[in-house]
Amino acid sequence: MPSEPASVATKMVRNAAGVKADFRAAIPTIMPDGSVITVIDLKFLRENPDVVRASQHARGEDPGLVDALLAADEERRGAIATADSLRAEQKAFGKKIGQASPEERPALLEGSNELKTKVKEAEEAQKRAEENVVKLQYAISNVIEGAPAGGEEDFEVLEHVGELPEFDFEVQDHLDLGEALGIIDMKRGTKVGGARFYYLVGDGAWMQLGMLMLAAQKAREAGFKVMVPPVLVRPEIMAGTGFLDAHDEEIYYLERDDLYLVGTSEVALAGYHRDEIIDLSDGPLLYAGWSSCFRREAGSYGKDTKGILRVHQFDKLEMFVYCKPEDAEEMHQKLLGLEREMLAAVEVPYRIIDVAAGDLGSSAARKFDTEAWVPSQDTYRELTSTSNCTTFQGRRLNTRYRDESGKTQTAATLNGTLATTRWLVAILENNQQADGSVVVPEALRPWVGKEVLTP
């Protein structure tokens, strides 16, 4: 295994067991080739501090961190200049000693020792200054790009797609339907795994497998390379994606092994090209990860306790893109377009929302959610999301590419969900019939093997 660069940031995170754990985030300040790796682009911050302050304000986060980081950056640059100057002086002094007469050397050697102490102190000051900069960089979320300001309820509805179903009978929720059909077993799931675990049985399993296979096919046809990635990742990979910034309570942590269970294959796919210079000369790199995902749902006590809307384990097909920053906005629309295609295939009405800045994860500059109509709740619930993370994750994970001049630049990353277990909620409820049967969407019938599921 290659050794990590020596200059790294230490971050305190709270693991799933509620225990404080130190780990080396492995985000170097200075790479061996001399390039500087940052979380927030310091050059952009210096030139556009008001933009970053406005982003922090729109997210409901502390804009004062911007000024703190600017001051820390100034201190870091001063510390680097001081250490460089002293090292140069030490080098010149060494030459002077080599040329000195035997009589002059004792006094010069004493001065050399004093200079050596000054150099050591300056290097320690430089290290502290660099670590302070990285610490503050980790505290500032990605700069939003076009997201509306506000919190969870301040999203903007961009579009409604499909007709809401009308029923002339009493609507059942997905769990009542699933249990009557024999395709969802929550009771035995709870017996085996505890609350928020379940079994998908028979046609329920085939419906999920069919949905994910359909998503994988659509991804492949759109140029994505389908992958089955690891579901356990090292701390620096989880930190690199931004999930430990605000969502560490939602993540399962295996303390004995110092590994995290992923809540989305985005994490493993983001780490795939860590510390690499990738080739984007022929266009973006497109991946689609099929994996089980795990979430503690620590902040959801009492919410969605019935059924499979909010569970600890589920399967998902996640799209992931590496591209040049100037291509990110176009790729974001492409991911949203693929989500549209998939939702049309499973025949559920939905709406698209532009998520407000205060409801974005720290890595996302903008996010679109698609929310399906859930008849039993008389409301829309999230099925998919697609996020443009710009260069935020690329900087943390040191993923770069060469531009036309051969200079290395930070790659942008994006992600989007193409299918996941909770889609079954919308499929069952929107396609239910008066006798408790459910019409299987035509696109899923080759896998399910039936047109209608009957109690």
Which of 366, 400, 422, 429 is catalytic? The answer is 422
Which of 382, 402, 437, 445 is catalytic? The answer is 382
Which of 141, 385, 387, 429 is catalytic? The answer is 385
Let me know if 422 is a catalytic residue.
yes
Q: Check the annotation: does 404 bind a ligand.
A: no
Question: How far, in Å, CA of 71 to CA of 231, rounded?
Answer: 39
Q: Check the annotation: does 113 bind a ligand.
A: no
Q: Check the annotation: does 341 bind a ligand.
A: no
Which of 59, 295, 366, 395 is catalytic? The answer is 295
Question: E-strand spans in 90-217?
Answer: 156-161, 184-185, 199-200
Q: Check the annotation: does 57 bind a ligand.
A: no
Q: How many CA atoms lie within 13 A of 119 on its CB side?
A: 15
Q: Check the annotation: does 415 bind a ligand.
A: yes
Question: How far, in Å, CA of 442 to CA of 92, rounded?
Answer: 79
Q: Check the annotation: does 417 bind a ligand.
A: yes
451 CB-contact burial (10 Å; exposed 0-12 / middle 13-18 / buried 19+): exposed
Q: Residues in the chain, how many?
A: 455
Question: How far, in Å, CA of 187 to CA of 184, rounded?
Answer: 9
Q: Check the annotation: does 391 bind a ligand.
A: no
Let me know if 347 is a catalytic residue.
no
Which of 310, 340, 351, 381 is catalytic? The answer is 310
Question: How far, in Å, CA of 67 to CA of 63, rounded?
Answer: 8
Q: What is the β-pairing status of strands 225-227 and 259-261?
A: unpaired
Let me know if 382 is a catalytic residue.
yes
Question: How far, in Å, CA of 63 to CA of 128, rounded?
Answer: 23
Whether residue 396 contacts residue 27, with contact meaning beta carbons closer than 8 Å, is answered with yes
Q: Check the annotation: does 234 bind a ligand.
A: no
Q: Check the annotation: does 265 bind a ligand.
A: yes
Question: How far, in Å, CA of 261 to CA of 230, rounded?
Answer: 9
Let me know if 130 is a catalytic residue.
no
Q: Check the annotation: does 167 bind a ligand.
A: no
Whether residue 148 contacts residue 155, with contact meaning beta carbons closer than 8 Å, is answered with yes
Q: Check the annotation: does 55 bind a ligand.
A: no
Annotated binding site for L-serine: 264-266, 295, 318, 415, 417
Annotated binding site for ATP: 295-297, 311-314, 382-385
Annotated binding site: 264-266, 295-297, 311-314, 318, 382-385, 415, 417
Catalytic residue numbers read 295, 310, 382, 385, 422
